[in-house]
C-alpha cells in the first residue's frame, strides 16, 4: 500500500531552477580562471551588508565547481552560508552539491527523517542559491563585473 500524500519530486521545477542558476553564476563569475575569486560587495541604501564570494575550485570543459559563500557583519557570531555548486556546461545547469559541509542531497526525503530534511530539500537548496545570486546581481557591486545595459 502506498501513501497517497507522499511527496513527488517536481523534476521540471528543479531543472528550471538549475538552468536559471547556471545563467546567474556564469554572469557573476564571467571569465574567472581556476583558483580565482570574485567578491561582489552587497550594498543596499548606501550601507555595506557584506560580500558574496565566488571561488572557482575546478574548471573543466564539461564540469566546473564553484564555492559560494558570504562574508558579512555577523562573521564570527553566526555560521555564514556556504555551498559548493557543480556547473554542468554541456546541459547548462548548476546544482548545489554541498551545503554547510553536508554533501549529497536526495531528490526527495520521507518526512520526518533523522536529519530533518524537508521532502523537497534539494529543490529548496537550489532555490535558495537562485535567490542569493539574484540578490548579488541586483545589489552587488564589483569593479571587474560587467554592468548590464
CB 136 within 8 A of CB 52: yes
What three-state secondary structure class fits 14?
helix
Cα separation, 120 vs 32, whole angstroms? 32
**Is the whole model's pTM more than 0.85, yes or no?**
no
Q: Percent of the chain beyond pLDDT 90? A: 44
Terminal Cα distance for the chain, rounded: 56
| pLDDT on residue 1 | 45
Q: Where are the domains of the chain?
A: 11-141
Residue 71: band (very low, low, confident or very high) from pLDDT cuts 50, 70, 90: confident
Cα separation, 28 vs 15, whole angstroms? 20
CB 66 within 8 A of CB 84: yes
**Length of the chain as a residue count:** 149
| pLDDT on residue 108 | 57
| pLDDT on residue 149 | 41
Amino acid at each position: 500500500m502506498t501513501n497517497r500524500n507522499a511527496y513527488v519530486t517536481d523534476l521540471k521545477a528543479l531543472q528550471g531552477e538549475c538552468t536559471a542558476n547556471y545563467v546567474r553564476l556564469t554572469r557573476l563569475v564571467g571569465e574567472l580562471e581556476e583558483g580565482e575569486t570574485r567578491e561582489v560587495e552587497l550594498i543596499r541604501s548606501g550601507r555595506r551588508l557584506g560580500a558574496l564570494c565566488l571561488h572557482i575550485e575546478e574548471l573543466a570543459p564539461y564540469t566546473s565547481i564553484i564555492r559560494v559563500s558570504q562574508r558579512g557583519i555577523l562573521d564570527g557570531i553566526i555560521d555564514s552560508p556556504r555551498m559548493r555548486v557543480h556547473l554542468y556546461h554541456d546541459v547548462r545547469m548548476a546544482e548545489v552539491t554541498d551545503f554547510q559541509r553536508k554533501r549529497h542531497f536526495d531528490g526527495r526525503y520521507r518526512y520526518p527523517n533523522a536529519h530533518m530534511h524537508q521532502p523537497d530539500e534539494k529543490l529548496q537548496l537550489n532555490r535558495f542559491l537562485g535567490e542569493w545570486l539574484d540578490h548579488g546581481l541586483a545589489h552587488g557591486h564589483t569593479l571587474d563585473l560587467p554592468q548590464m545595459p
